[in-house]
């Protein structure tokens, strides 16, 4: 049965308290976060609130809820409050598709956010396209979403895997060496991330000593790590995410592999660094957003506000993904003065995020040709010891604009087919 939490738009703090962060990890049934019972605009989010990506999914939801609170406090969208409906995809494609159809066909949502899992994001994008519902993929990175599998109604906030690889591959090659070995999650995200990094390595003149494909949810990486060490690469690139990343790097440290081989990767997340022991925090990585940005407008307030809503924890890139996804819809709908999906999808093309939403130093906008957000890469090193604040676990050395890391639209494979 769906749980509904109701209150007036002006009483958003009570709603945050009622909706609470503490119980998110246990989400099993459909959950509704409602601003007002009557005359609402329904928005759905599908994310894996159980399983290896639960922590990052929970932070995306915190960001979405904070955006809804802000939107409703300022009069909602076209004068109507947002009602948020939350579903758990449980890291299963079939479940994700089922939940997408339920949200669209039964609950009548007008906007969809999700999924963290790239395979699920691709699948639910087909459903949202069939139903002509505007959809922003908040955290699924595989290139096809805004590449060969792109849809007129689907946009993406997070980086593509090519953007991630392009942001850090050359630095790894120049600093660590030309022979690379990969630990790769065996699904859409991992495949495209590894292929992007391998393409960059080939361009630089390097070689791949091996690629270990690991199932989602792997807890014992020892067999893969033994093979990687035997190959004697210069660099071991760890590509799994979530709890898989944590388990892999813990075992890298336990086996002392980081003392023999440079250990690094492409995408890294604060949720993962916080969950692993200090000795496992090694190497060069890219973050897709980082909470410590002195002098960047709006960041300090965003961090303080999220701390109040998350038990004192700072926002992560995932928090920003959720926040930006929700704010993008509200901003473009209020600007275009319509809820029509086709009109809003066209209006989002080349739409530039304002400073209080982009929360980064570089221009941040959705490309019209492939619907990919041109967002920055925060490149630096993981920190064994926090830099002051216990959650300051990453040293940002450079912030690279999305225009510099993304391939041109002509190379993405995206051909948008708009409704007649």
Q: What is the pLDDT of residue 420?
A: 86
pLDDT in tens, 177-218: 999 999 999 999 999 999 999 999 999 999 999 999 999 999
pLDDT at 2 over 80: no
Average pLDDT over residues 270-286: 97
Write out pLDDT tens, residues 354-385: 999 999 999 999 999 999 999 999 999 999 99
Let me know if 210 is exposed, middle or buried by CB neighbors in 10 A (0-12, 13-18, 19+). Answer: middle
How far is Cα 56 from Cα 48, in angstroms, rounded to an integer? 9
What is the assigned CATH class of domain 3-159+295-375? alpha beta
Strands laid side by side in the 284-287 sheet: 284-287, 377-382, 394-400
Residues 70-102: tens digit of each pLDDT: 999 999 999 999 999 999 999 999 999 999 999
Helix, strand, coil % over all residues of the chain, rounded to 5: 45, 20, 40
3-159+295-375 and 162-287+377-405 agree in CATH topology? yes
Residues 31, 58: Cα–Cα separation, whole Å: 13
* CA gap 235, 266 in Å, rounded: 12
Q: Which residues contact 150 (CB under 8 A, 6 or more apart)?
A: 144, 370, 371, 412, 413, 414, 415, 416
CATH of 162-287+377-405, one of 3.30.43.10, 3.40.50.2300, 3.90.420.10, 3.40.50.150: 3.40.50.2300
Percent of the chain with pLDDT over 90: 90
The beta-strand segments (E) located in 6-72 are 31-33, 41-47
The domains of the chain are located at 3-159+295-375, 162-287+377-405
- Report DSSP letters for 164-221, one per residue: HHHHHHHHHHHHH-SEEEEEEESSHHHHHHHHHHHHHHHHHT-EEEEEEEE-TT----
Residue 15 scores a pLDDT above 70: no
In the predicted structure, residue 38 carries a pLDDT above the cut 60: no
Residue 281 has pLDDT above 80, yes or no: yes
């Amino acid at each position: 049965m769906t749980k509904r939490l109701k209150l007036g738009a002006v009483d958003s703090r009570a709603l945050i308290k009622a909706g609470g962060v503490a119980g998110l990890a246990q989400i099993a049934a459909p959950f509704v976060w409602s601003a007002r019972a009557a005359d609402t605009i329904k928005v759905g989010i599908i994310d894996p609130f159980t399983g290896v990506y639960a922590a990052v999914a929970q932070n995306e939801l915190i960001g979405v809820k904070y955006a809804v609170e802000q939107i409703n406090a300022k009069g909602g969208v076209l004068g109507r409050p947002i009602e948020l409906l939350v579903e758990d995809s449980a890291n299963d494609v079939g479940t994700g598709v089922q939940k997408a159809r339920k949200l669209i066909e039964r609950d009548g949502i007008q906007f969809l956010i999700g999924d963290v899992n790239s395979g699920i994001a691709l699948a639910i994008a087909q459903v949202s396209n069939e139903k002509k519902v505007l959809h922003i993929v908040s955290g699924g990175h595989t290139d096809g979403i805004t590449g060969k599998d792109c849809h007129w109604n689907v946009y993406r906030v997070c980086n593509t895997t090519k953007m991630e690889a392009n942001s850090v591959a050359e630095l790894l090659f120049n600093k660590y060496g030309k022979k690379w070995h990969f630990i790769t999650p065996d699904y859409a995200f991992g495949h495209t991330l590894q292929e992007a990094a391998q393409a960059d390595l080939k361009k630089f003149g390097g070689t791949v000593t091996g690629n270990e494909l690991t199932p989602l949810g792997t807890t014992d990486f020892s067999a893969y790590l033994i093979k990687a060490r035997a190959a004697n690469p210069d660099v071991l690139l760890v590509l799994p995410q979530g709890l898989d990343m944590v388990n892999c790097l813990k075992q890298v440290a336990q086996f002392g592999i980081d003392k023999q081989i440079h250990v690094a990767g492409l995408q890294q997340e604060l949720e993962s660094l916080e969950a692993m022991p200090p000795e496992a925090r090694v190497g060069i990585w890219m973050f897709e957003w980082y909470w410590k940005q002195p002098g960047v407008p709006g960041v300090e307030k965003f961090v303080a506000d999220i701390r109040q809503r998350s038990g004192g924890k700072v926002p992560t890139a995932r928090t920003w993904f959720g926040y930006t996804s929700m704010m993008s819809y509200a901003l473009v709908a209020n600007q275009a003065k319509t809820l029509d999906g086709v009109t809003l999808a066209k209006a989002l093309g080349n739409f530039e995020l304002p400073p209080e939403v982009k929360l980064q130093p570089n221009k941040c906008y959705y490309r019209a040709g492939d619907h990919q957000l041109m967002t920055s890469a925060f490149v630096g090193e993981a920190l064994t010891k926090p830099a002051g604040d216990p959650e300051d676990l990453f040293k940002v050395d450079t912030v690279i604009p999305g225009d510099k890391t993304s391939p041109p639209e002509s190379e993405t494979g995206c051909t948008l087919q708009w409704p007649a």
